[in-house]
Structure 1
Amino acid sequence: MAARILIVEDDAKTVELVRLYLARDGYRVLAASDGITGLNIARQNKPALIILDIMLPGMNGIEICRQLRLESGVPVIMLTAKTSDDDKLAGLDTGADDYITKPFSPRELAARVRAILRRLPGTRTPEIIKCGQLTLDFTRHQVTLNGAGVKLTAVELKLLGAMAAEPGRVFSRSQLIEQALGYDFDGFDRTIDVHIGNLRRKLRLNKTNTCFIQTIYGAGYRFVCEPEI
C-alpha cells in the first residue's frame, strides 16, 4: 500500500504542485486547507509524513506540530514563507524534522520526503540497543527510559540510533546531518543543535541535567552509556 502524505496548506496552487510531484513518486496524498482540519486528518489517517505550512487559518502550523508531538513521532516538514533563522528554530524546536522556505523547488521537497522516509529507524543500526535505563527498539520504533516510553521524531530517533550504535565516538555536525537527514546540507548549522537539544530534554534522567549525549566543544557530540551529571 502506498504511503500517505498529508499536506496542510491554504494555497490551492501549492497543494496541487506538491501533490503532482509526490504522486509521481507513488505516494497517496491527503490535503487540508486549514489547521484544525489538518490536525483532525492527521489523527484519523496516521500519515507517514506531514508537510505543514506555518501560517494557516484556524490553527497555525507551530501549534499543530506541538500538538502532534504530544501524540506521535510522525515526520513533519515545515513548508513556509517565514524565512528568518528564528522562525526556522521555532519550527524545529517544536519537533519538525525539516524546514523548507518558499519559494521552493518541488523536486527538492520530493527528494527530502524520500530521504526522511528512507531513513526511518532500523537501517545501519542494531535492532535493539540497551544502555542502562535507556532502551532503543528499532523494530518497534520505541524508546524507553526508566521503563517509560519516550516520544521521539523520526530524525531524533535516527540521530540517537546513529550515536548509540557507536557509544563514545564523537560525531561532527556534518556526520550527523548525513546520518539523520541524508541530503546536501544548506549551511543552517544550528539545525542539528536544535535536534540534539530536543533529544537531551527528552532523555534527561530524573529531571536533572544528567544526559546520554555530551557536547565535545569544537568537535561535535557523542553518546555515553553511563551519563555523568
Structure 2
Amino acid sequence: MKAGGPVVRSSRCSRFRHRTATMATILLIDEDHRYRRLLGDQLTRFGHLVTEIALHESGRTLSDLTCHTHRRPDVVIVDPVVPAVDGLLLMRLLCVASRRPVLAHSIRSIDDDVVRMLRAGADGFLPKPCPPAVVDASVRALLRRVPPAPPPAPSEVGALRIDVAGRSVSVDGRPVALTRTEFELLAYLAEHPGRVVPRSQLRTRIRAEGLPSAASLDVLLSRLRRKLGERSTGTKYLHTARGRGVSLRPVPAREQITQTSGSDAAR
C-alpha cells in the first residue's frame, strides 16, 4: 500500500469487527506510516471508520474540513510532534477547522510537551504506543460529551443535487433512485468537488458494500452515469482522468455546446 494520500479503513472490511461497537468516523493523522496503518487497522476492529493521512499532507484535509459540504469526522487523532514541521500549529488549525474533539497521541509524553498540546487545543492526550482498547475507550469517552458530527450541507454540481443528510439525489429537481452503494460513491465524490479522487480510494470506500474489484467499480460508475442522464457521447458530472481517478464537476458551458453539437452530428 502506498504511503501517500488518505487511506480509508472500514470495520465492514474486517473479519474481526467488535460485536458491541458503534462505528465512529475517525481522522487519524500521523507521520509514521507503519504505526498509522497498524493503529488504523486495530481501530477498525472496534467498529470505527478510519481515514488516515500523514501530517505533512494534512493541508488539503484542512481545506476539506472548512468546506460545508464535507463530512466531518467524529474525532481527530493526531501526533503533532514532527521534525521540521510546526505540528502544534497544524493541530490548532485542525481544532478550528474540524470543530470536533481532537486527541493528541504522541511519543513525546513529558509534562511540558503534553501541556503544550493541550494548550494548543487538544481535548485529551494518549502516549504512544498505546493499547488499541485504550484508544477506543478514549474515543468513546470523548463522544459521550459531545453531539455527533453534523451532516454536511447539500452539494450542488450543476443541475445535480446531493443531500447526504436526507440521503437523496435529484437532477433538475427530479429525484434519482440510487442503491446504497451508488449513493455512497456519489456522496464521497461530492466531498471532493472538482478534485480527482484516485480509484484506489473509491474502491476502499465502497468495499464495505461488497464491491472489491476494479471491474465492479467500473460497473458502478456506468450505472451512475446512466441514472444521472449522461449519454455515451458526453459527460455531465462524472469525469474519468485516465490513470488517475474520477472527479465530480459540472461541464463548462462551452464544453456542453461542443458535446451537444457532436451528439447532433452523430444523429
TM range (shorter): 0.3 to 0.5
Relative to the length of structure 1, the TM-score reads: 0.47
Name which one, 1 or 2, has greater alpha-carbon Rg.
Answer: 2
Relative to the length of structure 2, the TM-score reads: 0.41
